[in-house]
Amino acid sequence: MLNLVGLGLWDEKDVSIKGLEIAKNADMVYIELYTSKWHGNIKELEKIIGKEIKILNRGNLEEKSSEFLEEVNDKKVVLFVPGDPLIATTHSSLLTDAKKRGIKTEIVHNASIYSAIAETGLHIYRFGVTITIPFLEKTGNQLPLSIYERIGVKKKRDLHTLLLLDVVSEKNKYMTPNEGIQILLKSEENFGKGIFTEDTEIVVFGRAGSERPLILYGKVRDLMNKDFGDPPFVIILPARLHFSESEYLEFYRVK
């Protein structure tokens, strides 16, 4: 039995009672921290569940996943995963491989950025597909036109757009909102369709799930040079706001 247990958004205190109970009863407990930034403390989590937790990296769960599944076999194994476990699509491949071997799988869900964004006051059902802004060195030094155009299309269709910022966790490298904004402004310069300019209004949402989440709303020009502090962050490009969304977001307008 392979049980993927969600860590939720911030630290070890975001784990649910159910998740803890399952970990306490497991034969082996692992954690992966490469799909998202986690601010918890493994030692604290080990104390809570009374058990050692081994860290697995991308290699263990992707290229070498068969070694991992070999080990799971008929044992009760918990894998802690940041957020809600299947947000990282890589883990659905792991589950497919487990199922092929006849290993039972279970998910203990937890909070993820996909629903936490409702904390900005934007209505969750109005979000369209999610787009990740990649580090430019991965894409030949400019944002692909397709990504830039998808952002524009969705805005025209009256959908909010959640923009995830790239992560290279192996290098502890998290794209800042400032970098994300610069990449979008540079695309605007290259492709020039008026999709993302200094006058565009955006929301920066950071440290979701922490005691001090950051929500800032305003024009790009008023946000682009801010120091936003510690990651993680997302940027939201809102569509035309409903009255209730607008009333809520005004509390967070950048001065």
* 25 forms part of the interface with a second copy (CB under 8 A): no
* 20 forms part of the interface with a second copy (CB under 8 A): yes
* 209 forms part of the interface with a second copy (CB under 8 A): yes
Q: Give Cβ neighbours of residue 136 (< 8 Å, ≥ 6 apart).
A: 142, 143, 183
* 82 forms part of the interface with a second copy (CB under 8 A): no
Dist. CA 217–CA 117, nearest whole Å: 13
Q: Which of 28, 33, 46, 132 binds a second copy (CB under 8 A)?
A: 132
Supply 135's token pair: 């580090």
For the bound state, the minimum distance from the C-beta of residue 112 to a second copy, rounded and expressed in Å, comes to 4
* 251 forms part of the interface with a second copy (CB under 8 A): yes
Supply 207's token pair: 């440290």
State residue 45 phi and psi, 5-degree precision: -65, -40
Smaller CB distance to a second copy: residue 216 or 220? Answer: 216
* 119 forms part of the interface with a second copy (CB under 8 A): yes
* 115 forms part of the interface with a second copy (CB under 8 A): yes
Q: Which of 77, 87, 167, 184 binds a second copy (CB under 8 A)?
A: 87
- Nearest CA to 4 out of 95, 69, 121, 89 is that of 95
> Total residues at the site for a second copy (CB under 8 A)?
56
Residues 211, 173, 254: CA angle, nearest 5 degrees: 50
Among the listed ranges 15-23, 27-35, 169-177, 228-236, the one in contact with a second copy (CB under 8 A) is 15-23
Dist. CA 30–CA 105, nearest whole Å: 15
* 224 forms part of the interface with a second copy (CB under 8 A): no
* 2 forms part of the interface with a second copy (CB under 8 A): no
Residues 229, 111, 200: CA angle, nearest 5 degrees: 50
For the bound state, the minimum distance from the C-beta of residue 219 to a second copy, rounded and expressed in Å, comes to 22
Smaller CB distance to a second copy: residue 208 or 216? Answer: 208
User: Long-range contacts for 146-150 (Cβ within 8 Å, ≥24 apart)?
Assistant: 147/187, 148/184, 148/187, 148/188, 148/191, 148/193, 148/195, 148/196, 149/191, 149/193, 149/195
Smaller CB distance to a second copy: residue 148 or 248? Answer: 248
Give me the residues that bind a second copy (CB under 8 A), please: 6, 8-9, 12-18, 20-21, 48, 83-87, 89, 92-93, 95-96, 99, 106-107, 109-112, 114-116, 118-119, 121, 123-132, 159, 208-209, 211, 213, 244-245, 247-248, 251
